Amino acid sequence: MSDIEVFICLILLLMAVPDVCRKLGRPALAYSFFVLFGLLLNPVANEDVAKMLMTAGKVGFLLLLFEVGLEIELPSFREFLRPLRFAFLWSAWQYPVIFLLAAVAGLGFGESLFAAASLVGCSVGMAHAGWKQYPGLDEKTRRFILETMVALEMLVIILLTLEAPALENGLSGLIFFKLLGMAAAVWLVSRFSRHLNKLFQVILERTTHWRVHFLVLLVLVICAIGERLGLSAQTAFFLGLFMSRANHAGMGLEEYMAPVSQRFLIPVFFVGLGLQINWRMLFTVNTLIALGAAFLLLGMREVMHRRWLKTGGDKNAFLLLCPNLTLVALAASVMLEHDATNENATWLLLTGLFLTVSSLLMLPGGKEDKPVAAS
């Protein structure tokens, strides 16, 4: 395919896939289709196009983490204790199982820890649409499930942040300095969050034609400052976490940024991720291990939900805690940046893809009037 043909296909996908998925009542499946498009594009795209898409995808990676932070609106600490405890127990029993599955697939010690951290999580942005239309939940149960989804996502972000230095440098003293950098970035963002919130609010209220550009530019400038501390990606997450209350005319930041983020750069990130994986690896034993791991985890989660860790919903409510492709994609991207093999990143990505698509398809469907919004 020529460069122009590749971009024609990409633009058509960006236009059609989200709308088709929403009409089918499965809006979160769009990310999965973009990863699959990247996998299919791999053998026909030339090196220059692939490199350009992967470079643009790095910006989408930062915006994705920023919007993950925007999704999280924490309740009071006392109200959050129960879902946090549930999320910890839900993750703890799965961690050693996923670690062993990753080791069987050939991942090293650090990579197996990274895989376990991402696969135990829940992508609130992907599961939120299913949560909104899930039938038969009383208000108390519905809120508990949402807060558990948020707790699972937060735990994964924290685990990935703590494990990334070990993946890069091993268990060395450099981890301590990386953690100091993370603490410094979090402190700086939290320290100036009130001023940043005001700045975002001014941009929302007083700019018109360039509103989206200013918002994206400000996020990237702050991430660039965080990168000087060795923490650009995590800076984006914590920035989103502290900016979750900025809104204008009933719309949040993520809705104003959607034309650039959700409808362009974030999909490009998933396409670029698929491009980094050799499609021939789909026909290896690791793909079968990934498929088996996904269905094993679904089965174990169903048993756990029925017998020990009940959310309060019906027997299938646990499926709301299973979509995790965005978190897995973040982990796979970091692994590839730190010289993980394509085989290992492929196994992780495919496991998350199988787990996410299966759980979303098994959830009750429904029509969506607009894209998923933060809660």
Q: Which residues lie below 8 Å from residue 107, measured CB to CB, with a gap of 6+?
A: 115, 344, 347, 348
**DSSP labels for 172-232?**
STHHHHHHHHHHHHHHHHHHTHHHHHHHHHHHHHH-STTHHHHHHHHHHHHHHHHHHTT-H
Query: What pLDDT score was predicted for residue 142?
Result: 92
d(CA 239, CA 260): 18
Domain that includes residue 202, residue range = 3-362
Length of the chain: 375
279 pLDDT higher than 70: yes
Tokens of 204: 């929302």
263 pLDDT higher than 50: yes
Bridge partners (DSSP) of residue 248 are: 251
Query: What pLDDT score was predicted for residue 173?
Result: 55
CATH code at position 275:
1.20.1530.10
Q: Average pLDDT for residues 114-124, to the nearest whole number? A: 92
pLDDT 10s digits, 297-351: 999 999 999 999 999 889 999 999 999 998 998 888 888 877 778 889 999 999 9
- Percent of the chain residues topping a pLDDT of 90: 29
Q: Are 348 and 115 in contact (CB under 8 A)?
A: yes
d(CA 45, CA 126): 28
Report CA 103 to chain centroid distance, whole Å.
Answer: 23
Query: What pLDDT score was predicted for residue 159?
Result: 81
Average pLDDT, the chain: 83
368 pLDDT higher than 50: no
372 pLDDT higher than 60: no
Task: Read off the amino acid at residue 173.
Answer: G
Q: Average pLDDT for residues 145-165, to the nearest whole number? A: 83
Please indicate, yes or no, whether the overall pTM of this predicted structure exceeds 0.85. no
Phi/psi for 291 (5° steps) reads -65, -45
Task: Read off the amino acid at residue 293.
Answer: A
67 pLDDT higher than 70: yes
What total of structural domains would you count in the chain?
A: 1
Q: Which residues lie below 8 Å from residue 131, measured CB to CB, with a gap of 6+?
A: 142, 145, 146, 149, 320
Query: What pLDDT score was predicted for residue 294?
Result: 97
Residue that is written with structure tokens 């919130």 in the block:
197
74 pLDDT higher than 80: no
Query: What pLDDT score was predicted for residue 277?
Result: 79
What sign results for the dihedral spanned by CA atoms 178, 75, 89, 233? negative
pLDDT 10s digits, 246-259: 677 777 777 888 88
Residue that is written with structure tokens 């989200």 in the block:
18
- Is residue 370 situated within a structural domain? no
Q: Which of 138, 93, 84 is nearest to 308 (CA)?
A: 93
- Is residue 15 situated within a structural domain? yes
Query: What pLDDT score was predicted for residue 126?
Result: 83
- Is residue 368 situated within a structural domain? no
Kindly report the CA angle at 67 between 61 and 362, in degrees rounded to 5?
90
Q: Where does residue 8 fall: left (phi above 0), alpha (psi -120 to 50 degrees), or beta otherwise?
A: alpha
Tokens of 17: 């896939």
d(CA 79, CA 147): 9
d(CA 246, CA 243): 6
d(CA 341, CA 171): 20
Query: What pLDDT score was predicted for residue 292?
Result: 96
> Measuring CA to CA, how many Å separate 243 from each of 54, 59, 158, 254?
27, 19, 18, 10
- Percent of the chain residues topping a pLDDT of 70: 86
- Is residue 96 situated within a structural domain? yes
pLDDT band at 172 (very low <50, low <70, confident <90, very high): low
Q: Between the ranges 43-52, 72-81, 99-108, where is the mean pLDDT highest?
A: 99-108
Reduce the DSSP state of residue 165 to 3 states and report it.
helix
36 pLDDT higher than 80: yes
53-57, 197-201, 305-309, 312-316, range with the lowest pLDDT: 197-201
Phi/psi for 247 (5° steps) reads -155, 165
pLDDT 10s digits, 211-244: 888 888 888 887 887 777 666 666 787 778 777 6
> Measuring CA to CA, how many Å separate 104 from each of 291, 292, 328?
13, 12, 18
Tokens of 316: 């299938």
pLDDT band at 50 (very low <50, low <70, confident <90, very high): confident
- Is residue 371 situated within a structural domain? no
Residue that is written with structure tokens 């053998």 in the block:
43
- Is residue 124 situated within a structural domain? yes
- Is residue 375 situated within a structural domain? no
Q: Which residues lie below 8 Å from residue 346, measured CB to CB, with a gap of 6+?
A: 277, 278, 281, 282, 286, 287, 290
Query: What pLDDT score was predicted for residue 169?
Result: 58
77-91, 151-165, 275-289, 317-331, range with the lowest pLDDT: 151-165
- Considering only residues 99 and 74, tell me which one the structure prediction assigns the higher pLDDT: 99
pLDDT band at 374 (very low <50, low <70, confident <90, very high): very low
d(CA 84, CA 150): 9
- Is residue 48 situated within a structural domain? yes
